[in-house]
Every structure is written in structure tokens, then in C-alpha cells.
């Protein structure tokens, strides 16, 4: 006696296209995960660049008066020391503090995809003081 296989049962047992279905289910999860990892890497790179820039500018303000003799020249110098990132000069502030020459930076880091997430940006800050 031969079993009669209905078309619905045949379709249920068919495994062709399973990989495409799994890919379609996982892709909407995988792409935001990868983009999020890249975005946080860029955030940490920007924070490191800010910290390096204020460290170098505070040192320059103390050691090299020819290059960093004024507040504006120290700000410009700090902007050039940011690991290849471009920050406006107004991101940095240079002052004479009790600890020596102090340089601070504040920068608003914009996340890509800000329209989809409530945290559209993060405020980053860095400061350094080099003794006189």
C-alpha cells in the first residue's frame, strides 16, 4: 500500500530555501549590531583624539611659547593634534589655572541614525593641565 503525500505535506518537508529564510530573519538584527559596534568605535576614537589634543596643547602652552603663546594659538594647535579628526577651534578652551596651563574640550558627538534613536548625540569632554 502506497502512502499518498499531499502537496501541503510535501511543502512542509521541503528544506530548499531554509538558508535564505534564516538570513532574512537574522539580517535585521545583524546589520544594526555591526553598525552600532562601528559607531561606538568611532565614539571612543573621538574621545581619545580629544584627550590627546588637550594633552598636547596644554604641554605646548607651557613649553613652547612661540607656537602656543596665546589662547587662540593654543586652540588652533589643539585642533591640529586630534589624530586626523577635524574639530573647530571653538571646541577647545585654554586658561591659566592653579595647576598650570589648562586646556579643556567639549564636543557633541552625533550618532548616525539619530532619527531612529532617542539618544541623537553624546557630549564628550576632555581636560588636561600641564604645570608651569
For residue 50, what pLDDT is reported? 96
d(CA 101, CA 67): 14
Q: Is residue 82 part of a domain?
A: yes
Which residue has better confidence, 117 or 10? 10
Average pLDDT over residues 22-40: 91
Residue 67 to residues 46, 55, 64, 88, 129: CA-CA distances in angstroms?
24, 15, 6, 18, 17
pLDDT for residue 36 is more than 70: yes
Which stretches of the chain are DSSP H helices? 7-13, 18-63, 71-80
Res 130 pLDDT > 90: yes
Mean pLDDT of 2-23: 78
pTM higher than 0.85 for the full model?
no
Predicted confidence (pLDDT) at residue 117 exceeds the cutoff of 80: no
Could you tell me the residue range of the domain that residue 88 belongs to? 17-130
**How many structural domains compose the chain?**
1
pLDDT at 1 (0 to 100): 53
Residue 3 lies in a domain: no
Amino acid at each position: 500500500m502506497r502512502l499518498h503525500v499531499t502537496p501541503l505535506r510535501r511543502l512542509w518537508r521541503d528544506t530548499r530555501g531554509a538558508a535564505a529564510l534564516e538570513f532574512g530573519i537574522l539580517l535585521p538584527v545583524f546589520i544594526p549590531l555591526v553598525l552600532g559596534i562601528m559607531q561606538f568605535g568611532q565614539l571612543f576614537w573621538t574621545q581619545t583624539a580629544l584627550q590627546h589634543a588637550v594633552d598636547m596643547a596644554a604641554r605646548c602652552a607651557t613649553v613652547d611659547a612661540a607656537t602656543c603663546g596665546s589662547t587662540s594659538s593654543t586652540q588652533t594647535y589643539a585642533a591640529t593634534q586630534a589624530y586626523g579628526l577635524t574639530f573647530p577651534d571653538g571646541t577647545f578652551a585654554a586658561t591659566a589655572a592653579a595647576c598650570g596651563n589648562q586646556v579643556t574640550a567639549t564636543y557633541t558627538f552625533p550618532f548616525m541614525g539619530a532619527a531612529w534613536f532617542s539618544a541623537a548625540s553624546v557630549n564628550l569632554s576632555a581636560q588636561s593641565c600641564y604645570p608651569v
